[in-house]
Structure 1
């Protein structure tokens, strides 16, 4: 249940973030907004780490270097989500993002990529993805 609540929170915050970022980018530009968003996130992350952190930054050398590019993904995510919303609107852009996330996450699970536990891919998962895609198409046709 806690996982569902955190996932719902993430969905809500991602939807709000892309709209908020677009309002900032209207005034200062896309790349400038991307930098500001990550600077604010860094400051907030440092505060949260100082208050709640229970890990060990000294072990950063033990992390596969490939996984450290996740921060670069964040920059691309913020920028591309703003452009997607400008071109497609918030609801349609977010729908496309969710489908892409679901497809990639399903592939990671099905093949056990990047050290993830392998989760069997079956017809019901395929059917679920197809229903979501059809839903987005219907949503866009009606909008």
Structure 2
């Protein structure tokens, strides 16, 4: 089931980036970003309301404050994806993003950054990264 959710996530990300890029072309990047995040806030508020979930004070104290930066990173991700999609298209934007995500995740895994467990960099991972680079290069041709 979880691998299927990962596949669905990939489909949703591609669709989201395409739709966000179109909205950016129509109304501008910053206005689009506001509307994108407002719609997300409305949806997650509905989810929380339906599940009657509340965040208790003791739950908030269990993790470091820097973890709240994920929201800021989310806004920057939308802004950068919107601009990239307008000029590069969805395929190149996602290809380059995939390379950057994979490279960053390899570094995080290898060094165990941000509290994650360590997973050593191997030559098999290097082969995979090389395939991604070649695929991106092929898309530019």
- Which residue is 2:112 aligned to? 112
Tell me the TM-score normalised to structure 2 length. 0.91
Count of residue pairs brought into register by the alignment: 140
Confirm whether residue 74 of structure 1 aligns to residue 74 of structure 2: yes
- Which residue is 1:51 aligned to? 50
Return 5+ residue gaps in structure 1 as ranges: none
- Which residue is 1:29 aligned to? 28
- Which residue is 1:135 aligned to? 135
Alpha-carbon distance in 2 for matches of 1:89, 1:41: 23
Alpha-carbon distance in 2 for matches of 1:5, 1:120: 26
Shift of 1:93: 0.9
Tell me the TM-score normalised to structure 1 length. 0.90
Mapping 1:6-21, distance limit 5 Å: 6-21=5-20
User: Would the alpha carbon gap of residues 107 and 7 (structure 1) be closer, same or farther in structure 2, given more than 3 Å must change?
Assistant: same
Alpha-carbon distance in 2 for matches of 1:129, 1:27: 35
Shift of 1:11: 0.9
Alpha-carbon distance in 2 for matches of 1:49, 1:123: 44
- Which residue is 1:86 aligned to? 86
SS for the counterpart of 1:63 is: coil
Alpha-carbon distance in 2 for matches of 1:12, 1:126: 25
Q: Is the Cα–Cα contact under 8 Å of residues 102 and 129 in structure 2 kept in the other structure?
A: yes
